[in-house]
A and B are shown apart, each in its own frame.
Chain A
Amino acid sequence: MTTNNQATAPKKDKGDDMIVIEDLNKWYGSFHVLKDINLNVKKGERIVVCGPSGSGKSTMIRCINRLEVFQQGSLTVNGIAMIDDVKNIESIRREVGMVFQHFNLFPHLTILENLTIGPIWVQKKPKEEAEATAMKYLERVKIPDQALKFPGQLSGGQQQRVAIARSLCMAPEIMLFDEPTSALDPEMIKEVLDVMVELAEEEGMTMICVTHEMGFAKTVADRVIFMDGGEIVEENTPNEFFDHPETDRLQLFLSQII
């Protein structure tokens, strides 16, 4: 399994730096959550972040689209530096799509409206065009027949696929996944992972995914990052990461989850 993963995930041309994080520090009050984070993500690169809960992995990726504010260091997304300015934040958010653990679909809107609200209001696209794009992505995630239902009428797996489609409708350069399968029933995890694998392999999307699905990490990731206590403890290719962990902390972590 681990030996041929490079073949199943052919590398697209990895171009320029998509995300550059330098010496990033963040505190919640006096609690130091992120410590000297340095991370470069190239265009088209797929990164899986794992680690125990409370290690700061979600906080780190939430910094990338400014759902969390950091106090020190710098962060650049597709050449745009993150500074405390509304215009700047909006243009970064346009580059970045995010999928949440609890889907966070808008319960008062139909699936189709969930998908078109961003394109119509943020990108000012005509309604017909936005709906056509939405249907295209709903087909990509294999639920075009649910377009007129409300989120509450869908299963968890379907909701998460809609959430992925909603992000894709904004044509982002980068997708962030914050534990996308943790809130799902076991039978639904696969349908969501399949969509994510397809996205990685066919679109060459730049992805950062916080997950504990190690199978996903092995098939899709270019790099796996292990975080603990707010630091990046180890980062490596999946093969090296799982087979030859360098630190005892990662060894312990792997021994407990696999």
Chain B
Amino acid sequence: MKEFIAKPAKPAPASIVGPVAWLRENLFSSPLNAITTLLFCAFIISIVPGLFDWFIWSADWAGTTQEACTSEGACWVFTSAWSQQLFYGSYTDGQIWRVNLCIISLFAIIYASTVVRADIRNKVIIPVFLILPFLWVILLNGSLIGLTHVSTDYWGGFALNILMAAASIIIAFPLSFLWALGRRSEMPFARSVCVLLIEFFRGVPVLALFFMGSVMLPFFFPEGWTVDKLIRVWIVLILFMSGYMAEVFRGGFQAIPQGQYEAADSIGLSYWQKNLLIILPQNIKVSMPNILATFIMLFKNTTFLLIIGIFEILSTTQTALTNSNWLGGHSTEGYVFVALLFWICCFSMSMISNSIERKLETSHRN
């Protein structure tokens, strides 16, 4: 019988590999593409040097007062002079290590969750994650653990934006999964409660929710019973976030094939085992881009706290801008700085979520 021998693979021709081929294919594939490329290059050349000059070259970097700002460029003296306010608000001097500890613990646990084994992650990291926001409250408040009491009136700055967003996301994540499960439930009562919660918190603007939380909610509390304004706002953020995330998870549920539920049922997993062990991990995988979008939205929405008088970064920037020693019109620097901080954080979140997606992807090669 004739033997079949598979042909060896040949290298690809030079016309489809290499830098020149890449340029031709991606930047100059058609006249329209070439024109767009050239226009874009012209745009970059006309804009970037000026920006670079303002930002770095002719900017003022050294000094402590407004008088140090003499040149044409940006006055970064403003942001460095106000940096403590911008990052920590009016948190008591000498106690700022507590804020730093909170932020470090957040990044440490995020990093830890990416390097430890899966069973340690499930048994240790996730529970720690869930109690972390409460530890922050105890640490920042201080009176419970014998540290100097720092009232929430003094909490502020960019640290507050970060911690507020993180604390809300951490609690909203499991809560929204429960809501999404409830919405799919066959029990009419659970389903209608969840639908009501989701639609309410998703349908009302976040600003309106903040006002309700800060102004209206106290009327509903019993006489003499007060909850700190920041805690009320935290609850509002959690509920708002949960409304959005629940719908993200619902989309994820619908993307998971029915066969996965049936297979889980057929090997006898209970309702909770099925949803937590089989469905949730797959749901997170398909929902990752939307989950990230929701995180970023919530993080940026923390700047709205300014309107109800909480000293997050935008609010402290405004305070700095209206300070009598700094009335030189530094609003461009101030807001550019805030924008840059937010952008750096959001971009890092994007990168992290991309790497998580890639990590999850290897297990789904089909």
Contacts and interface: CB of A to CB of B under 8 A. Distances in A.
Contact of B365 (A67, A97, A110, A152): A152
A163 B269 CA distance: 16
Contact of A106 (B260, B360, B362, B366): B260
Contacts of A117: 267, 269, 277-278
A96 B267 CA distance: 8
B285 A98 contact: no
Contacts of B2: none
Contacts of B254: none
A93 B270 contact: no
Contacts of B7: none
Contacts of A93: 265-268
A222 to B, nearest CB: 24
Given A150-B362, A150-B364, A100 B262 contact: yes
Contacts of A206: none
A118 B363 contact: no
Contact of B267 (A108, A122, A153): A122
Contacts of B257: 102, 104
A170 interface: yes
B263 interface: yes
B359 to A, nearest CB: 11
Contacts of A107: 282, 363-364, 366
B269 A152 contact: no
Contacts of A109: 363
A19 to B, nearest CB: 15
Contacts of B285: 108
Contacts of A25: none
A93 B282 CA distance: 23
Contact of B268 (A67, A100, A106, A118): A118
Contacts of A108: 281-282, 285, 360, 363-364
Contacts of A122: 267-270, 273
A117 B277 CA distance: 9
B266 A152 contact: no
Interface residues of B, number: 24
Contacts of A98: 262-263, 266
A90 interface: yes
Contacts of A150: 362-365
Given A94-B268, A107-B282, A170-B268, A152 B262 contact: no
B259 A102 contact: yes
A-side interface size class: 20 to 34
A61 to B, nearest CB: 11
Contacts of B268: 90, 93-94, 118, 122, 170
Contacts of A102: 257, 259
Contacts of A104: 257, 259-260, 262-263
Contacts of B262: 67, 98, 100, 104
A166 B363 contact: no
Nearest to A96: B266
A165 to B, nearest CB: 12
Contacts of A110: 363
A121 interface: yes
B263 A105 contact: yes
Contacts of A153: 365
B266 A65 contact: yes
Contacts of A97: 266-267
Contacts of A67: 262, 265-266
B265 A121 contact: no
A167 interface: yes
A112 B264 CA distance: 16
Contacts of A167: 266-267
A93 B268 CA distance: 5
Interface in A107-129: 107-110, 117-118, 121-122
Interface string A138-156: 0000000000001011000
A166 B267 contact: yes
A161 to B, nearest CB: 15
Interface in A41-84: 65-67
Count chain A CB atoms within 10 A of each CB in B265, B266, B282, B364 and give the residue with the most.
B266
Contacts of B269: 117-118, 121-122
28 contacts: A67-B262, A67-B265, A90-B268, A90-B270, A93-B265, A98-B266, A100-B259, A102-B259, A104-B259, A106-B264, A106-B278, A107-B282, A107-B363, A107-B364, A108-B281, A108-B363, A108-B364, A117-B267, A121-B269, A121-B273, A122-B268, A122-B269, A122-B273, A152-B363, A152-B365, A153-B365, A167-B267, A170-B267
Given A117-B269, A150-B365, 18 more contacts: A93-B267, A93-B268, A98-B266, A100-B263, A100-B266, A104-B259, A104-B262, A104-B263, A105-B263, A106-B260, A106-B282, A108-B285, A108-B364, A117-B277, A121-B273, A122-B268, A153-B365, A170-B267
Interface of B: 257, 259-260, 262-270, 273, 277-278, 281-282, 285, 360, 362-366
Q: Which 9 A-B pairs have the closest CB atoms?
A: A104-B263, A104-B259, A118-B267, A98-B266, A152-B366, A152-B365, A93-B268, A122-B268, A150-B363
